């Protein structure tokens, strides 16, 4: 239950027109504005999330807005120390073991994937970038009951190999891999593509693309009975998206890599996919200027008129890891509410 307090800066009680209530969850601010004629609005961190205009009075509008807010907190914020895994009855991925790279915190796309894979019964090995990141990732790994929890900074040589050695020792096989990392130095990411330095280009491509190739290389011998490799891409690989810059170039290379790896590894039953989610407010996204404008545009233009959540991405990814998807490979799957089909 959220703890709603009236905004004391505004007039309240009888005679007041619109009342405002505020609830704080962690560092998120939820605001409900309720009008006596049965209209209500929910804003989270200044962003419009929901609007109710058909309630019969103030009380009913507030009840509706409170219900939306609680659902939102449950599915999108999931913050409170012990992570919540969705309850899924059908353990469709039972017996599968996989490695998920890229959980920084509970907003990460990789975390959405980890929750979905675990909820469907798969085992999940988790890595964290470094000691600083460890305290955010550890409670999440605990919630997943991850039997392997190791540091992995792909720019430190030997760390990728160490993780795969541990997987070999612990499991002797791998059924799926989720590569959900990207990095570009600020001057490279925020500058024009035409100005990018050799080092900026090389680092962007190295972390965001080559590491997927190397992880596929290390996973191949562990996928003797087949498996699925995933990486995360974005629409900026196909179209020029304002502020996406050099990362668009890296994602284009990544999607092309997916096709070559799918062709090379397909005869061994190893499938390879890029998942292309719509914009999500994660740590990585905070490096992209005017990201809020991108979110607003995505919501307005997508046929679904809705932003995607990390859970939406997780479930779609988990589906492709299921044996039922065994003849789907080399795909770039958009999880974007249909945004990419619109002019």
Q: Which are the catalytic amino acids? A: 234, 244
Question: Sign of the CA dihedral 199, 159, 135, 145?
Answer: positive
Binding mask 145-184 for ligand NAD (x = CB under 6 A): -------xxxx------------------------xxxx-
Touching ligand NAD, residues 183-212 (CB under 6 A): 183, 207
Give which of 330, 161, 96 is closest to 231, Cα–Cα.
330
User: How many residues in the shown chain lie near ligand NAD by CB under 6 A?
Assistant: 27
Q: How far apart are the first and last CA of the chain?
A: 42
Q: How many helices (H) and strands (E) does the chain have?
A: 10, 12
Q: Are 185 and 200 in contact (CB under 8 A)?
A: yes
265-297 residues labelled b (16+ CB within 10 A) or e (exposed): beeeebbbbbbbbbbbbbebbebbeebeebbee
User: Nearest distance from residue 276's CB to ligand NAD, in Å?
Assistant: 6
283 binds ligand NAD (CB under 6 A): yes
Cα distance between residue 2 and residue 79, in whole Å: 13
User: Nearest distance from residue 285's CB to ligand NAD, in Å?
Assistant: 4
Q: Which of 49, 285, 325, 328 binds ligand NAD (CB under 6 A)?
A: 285
Crossing angle (nearest 10°) for helices 109-119 and 310-321 = 50
Give the Cβ contact number of residue 162 at 10 Å.
13
Give which of 274, 294, 284 is closest to 102, Cα–Cα.
284
Q: Are 84 and 106 in contact (CB under 8 A)?
A: no
Cα distance between residue 237 and residue 343, in whole Å: 16
Q: Where are the beta strands (DSSP E) in 248-289?
A: 270-277
Q: Which of 232, 241, 302, 321 binds ligand NAD (CB under 6 A)?
A: 232
Nearer to ligand NAD (CB atom), residue 222 or residue 241? 241
Nearer to ligand NAD (CB atom), residue 245 or residue 282? 282
Question: Which span (16-24, 48-56, 279-287, 324-332) binds ligand NAD, by CB under 6 A?
Answer: 279-287
134 binds ligand NAD (CB under 6 A): no
CA angle 151, 166, 284 (to 5 degrees): 30
Q: Where are the beta strands (DSSP E) in the chain?
A: 5-6, 19-25, 28-35, 39-44, 47-52, 97-101, 123-128, 149-151, 176-179, 227-232, 270-277, 332-335
Question: Which span (164-172, 212-220, 257-265, 282-290) binds ligand NAD, by CB under 6 A?
Answer: 282-290
280 binds ligand NAD (CB under 6 A): yes
User: Nearest distance from residue 259's CB to ligand NAD, in Å?
Assistant: 17
109 binds ligand NAD (CB under 6 A): yes
Nearer to ligand NAD (CB atom), residue 32 or residue 232? 232
User: Nearest distance from residue 275's CB to ligand NAD, in Å?
Assistant: 8
104 binds ligand NAD (CB under 6 A): yes
Question: Which span (21-29, 105-113, 139-147, 258-266) binds ligand NAD, by CB under 6 A?
Answer: 105-113
257 binds ligand NAD (CB under 6 A): no
215 binds ligand NAD (CB under 6 A): no
40 binds ligand NAD (CB under 6 A): no
284 binds ligand NAD (CB under 6 A): yes
93 binds ligand NAD (CB under 6 A): no
User: Nearest distance from residue 287's CB to ligand NAD, in Å?
Assistant: 9
The C-alpha torsion from 258 through 173 and 148 to 206, rounded to 10°, is: -30
Q: Locate tokens 């945004």: which residue?
A: 339
Which parts of this chain interact with ligand NAD (CB under 6 A)?
102-104, 107-110, 129, 133, 152-155, 180-183, 207, 232, 234, 277, 279-280, 282-285
């Amino acid at each position: 239950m959220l703890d709603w307090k009236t905004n004391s800066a505004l007039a309240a009680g009888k005679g007041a027109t619109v009342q405002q209530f505020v609830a704080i969850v962690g560092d998120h601010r939820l605001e409900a504005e309720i009008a006596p004629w049965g209209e209500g609005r929910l804003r989270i961190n200044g962003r419009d999330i929901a609007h109710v205009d058909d309630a019969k009075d103030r009380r009913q509008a507030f009840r509706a807005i409170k219900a939306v807010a609680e659902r939102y907190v449950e599915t999108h914020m999931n913050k409170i120390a012990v992570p919540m895994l969705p309850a899924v009855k059908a353990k469709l991925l039972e017996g599968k073991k996989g490695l998920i790279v890229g959980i920084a915190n509970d907003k990460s796309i990789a975390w959405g994937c980890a929750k979905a894979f675990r909820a469907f019964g798969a085992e999940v090995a988790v890595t964290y970038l470094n000691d600083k990141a460890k305290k955010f990732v550890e409670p999440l790994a605990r919630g997943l009951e991850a039997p392997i929890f190791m540091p992995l900074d792909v720019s430190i040589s030997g760390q990728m190999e160490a993780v795969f050695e541990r997987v070999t020792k612990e499991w002797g096989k791998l059924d799926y891999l989720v590569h959900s990392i990207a990095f570009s130095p600020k001057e490279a990411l925020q500058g024009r593509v035409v100005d990018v330095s050799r080092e900026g280009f090389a680092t962007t491509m190295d972390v965001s693309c080559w590491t997927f190739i190397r992880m596929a290389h290390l996973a191949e011998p562990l996928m003797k009975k087949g498996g699925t490799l995933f990486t995360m891409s974005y629409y900026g690989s196909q179209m020029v998206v304002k502020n996406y810059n050099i990362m668009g170039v890296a994602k284009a290379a990544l999607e092309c890599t997916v096709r070559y790896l799918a062709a090379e590894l397909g005869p061994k039953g190893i499938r390879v996919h890029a998942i292309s989610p719509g914009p999500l407010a994660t740590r990585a996204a905070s490096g992209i200027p005017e990201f809020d404008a991108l979110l607003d545009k995505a919501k307005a233009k997508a046929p679904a008129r809705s932003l995607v959540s990390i859970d939406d991405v997780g479930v779609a990814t988990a589906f492709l890891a299921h044996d039922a998807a065994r003849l789907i490979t080399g795909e770039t799957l958009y999880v974007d509410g249909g945004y990419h089909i619109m002019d």
